[in-house]
Structure 1
């Protein structure tokens, strides 16, 4: 797909990815699809703007795109899913969607540095990946991250991300997000 791909083609590709690979896990108790749906649900329930709801739904799409395998973290590999996902989504979505996706790992590193108890509350898989992603930020990195445009939105996405790991939750299917994704992709 090129940068000029149609909104419909991109959204169709997203749905195909989730249909084909959304049942995979990545060390968490829920599947990729369940995690995406829960994260988007929490964003929508909190009254987040549509772009943040879309970013919440798509924040881990890089896990479905990366070529390292779903056990990459177990093999000591940071697959850089946030960068892969943001770059792929940039084919049709604007920065309002892609920047939170790109920055959600940095937001985890930031919160692990700045928020007492955050690191200890992370799931085992998130703690494992955090180490591969550079661990908690240094003071200088945290200060620089706070100055990053979109810092606050990335932190907000990260908080929705942490809530989206509950087994057995039944939510609206991914199809319920089609119109929202189409609207944002056609503006991208």
Structure 2
């Protein structure tokens, strides 16, 4: 993926509905990225945050048919970013289940659409699942992306520019 393809992918999310939320997919992606940048995330984590829902994008869904969005997004990231970014993207749904199981206040802060999807995603993790999740060295990054994801549903909230995302990608490529 080159910089122009990344920009086109992000900008192509504009106007696409985001599962009953009040923001479109582009705003959600760029707002999640803004939270990552504001928290001081490195470029790889920022890119995973921006692209955590890329598996919902039509061309990505077509490339990885039959997979839930977090897994098609992970396959996309594995092909175009890194194994670490792929794992974080794949785990942003399990991270919601983890937080419901481990943070008593978390479920009460979920949007109605996120509560509805939680039921389809299996509800709270079991104790065994929580322990397994915590064994991965990047589990805290998946949780951070999940929290940014949950916060990134404000139509008037701050967003990164597509140029900021491309600049992070350029820096990540140069560092790799």
The runs of at least 4 aligned residues of structure 1 exceeding 6 Å deviation read: none
1:66 to 2:64 alignment: no
Identify which of 38, 43, 49 aligns with 2:36. Answer: 43
In the other structure, the counterpart of 2:25 is 32
The count of corresponding residues between Structure 1 and Structure 2 is: 170
- Unmatched runs of 5 consecutive residues or more in structure 2: none
1:119 to 2:114 alignment: no
1:56 to 2:49 alignment: yes
| TM-score, reference length from structure 2 | 0.86
1:95 to 2:83 alignment: yes
Identify which of 117, 134, 156 aligns with 1:129. Answer: 117
In the other structure, the counterpart of 1:4 is none
- How well do the aligned residues superpose, as a CA RMSD in angstroms? 2.0
Equivalent-residue separation in structure 1 for 2:86 and 2:101 (angstroms): 24
In the other structure, the counterpart of 1:72 is none
- Unmatched runs of 5 consecutive residues or more in structure 1: 1-6, 68-77
Identify which of 4, 11, 25 aligns with 1:12. Answer: 4
Contact 2:33–2:159 (CA<8 Å) still a contact in 1?
no
Contact 1:94–1:187 (CA<8 Å) still a contact in 2?
no
CA offset at residue 79 of structure 1?
Answer: 5.9
CA offset at residue 46 of structure 1?
Answer: 1.0
1:109 to 2:101 alignment: no
CA offset at residue 184 of structure 1?
Answer: 2.6
Identify which of 9, 14, 22 aligns with 1:22. Answer: 14
Equivalent-residue separation in structure 1 for 2:159 and 2:143 (angstroms): 24
| TM-score, reference length from structure 1 | 0.81
CA offset at residue 183 of structure 1?
Answer: 3.4
Equivalent-residue separation in structure 1 for 2:149 and 2:7 (angstroms): 20
Contact 1:93–1:187 (CA<8 Å) still a contact in 2?
no
